Amino acid sequence: MTDNPETIYDPEYIKSLFDKMSKTYGLANYISSFGFTERWRAACLNNLPSIAPNSVGYDLMTGMGEAWGHILPKLNAEGKLIAVDISPVMMQKAALHREKVRNRAVEMVQCDVLNNHFESNSADFVISTFGLKTFNDFQTRVLAREVNRLLKPGGSFSFVEISAPKGWILHGLYLFYLKKIIPLIGKLFLNSADEYRMLGVYCQKFENCQKFATYLMNEGLDVTYKSYFFGCATGVVGRKTKK
């Protein structure tokens, strides 16, 4: 696997990477984070400003649909969750998940979220859990613009991502986790440390959600920055103001 900054953020590279990790990604991610990712995901979605039961929203970088259990109970038969991911194999896993939950409120779309054909002002809410790290700075700006474009006036959003904590002790443990634990998990689950090592590369380069918060504010959105467990995860939550 390459660490070339011009390559690792290429959509085709991202698609291939997550296709390869799809068989083990959910369990490996849960184990390697000692279960904290699920807690942070729940906190992120609990922080989402209240939505009406008939809301329509997007789950960007949906992965295998890990966030659905926190959103679908809030929707009625008229509500809809549009799950978006670039990886076709991840989407296959998500489709199996949809069959298990037997919920027709989930519409699945396999595409690059930065190059989509969704209608402007079509979303009552936009969510994403642990999908920000695979964007470079320019792509993050584009994503902020897309969030603003998709949201209806008054619509809400909430995002979370693993981040670099403050303080030398936690930061040192964080680097050890990225460089040693994640590749080891990859070796155990996928018989290859390279793909999971790349997750560490992405996390280290991403740092936290502060820049994303700034880009969202630059788009005119109301934004609150969130920090979880001393900064080991960070997020943004807010609304598009009504005009």
Q: What is the pLDDT of residue 34?
A: 64
* pTM beyond 0.85, yes or no: yes
d(CA 127, CA 78): 19
Return the amino acid letter for 39. Answer: R
d(CA 221, CA 218): 7
Beta-bridged to residue 56, according to DSSP, are 80
Any domain includes 203: yes
Strands 222-228 and 151-162: unpaired
Residue 95 — pLDDT band, cuts 50, 70, 90? very high
Any domain includes 172: yes
Q: What is the pLDDT of residue 190?
A: 62
Domain that holds residue 178: 7-240
d(CA 200, CA 178): 4
Mean pLDDT of the region 78-104:
90
Mean pLDDT of the region 9-28:
86
Any domain includes 19: yes
Residue 37 — pLDDT band, cuts 50, 70, 90? confident
Q: What is the pLDDT of residue 4?
A: 64
The DSSP letter of residue 207 is: -
Closest CA to 186 of 3, 27, 9: 27
Domain at 213, CATH number: 3.40.50.150
Measure CA 116 to chain center: 17
The count of structural domains within the chain is 1
Q: What is the pLDDT of residue 30?
A: 65
**Residue 144 CB coordination number (10 Å):** 22
Any domain includes 196: yes
Any domain includes 134: yes
Question: Considering the chain, what is the average pLDDT of its residues?
Answer: 89
Any domain includes 2: no
d(CA 224, CA 235): 8
**Contact call for residues 194 and 1 (beta carbons, < 8 A):** yes
**Contact call for residues 157 and 238 (beta carbons, < 8 A):** yes
User: Is the model's pLDDT at 1 over the cut of 60?
Assistant: no
Any domain includes 183: yes
Three-state SS annotation for 101-145: HCCCCEEEEECCHHHCCCCCCCEEEEEEECCCCCCCHHHHHHHHH
User: Is the model's pLDDT at 36 over the cut of 80?
Assistant: yes
Any domain includes 44: yes
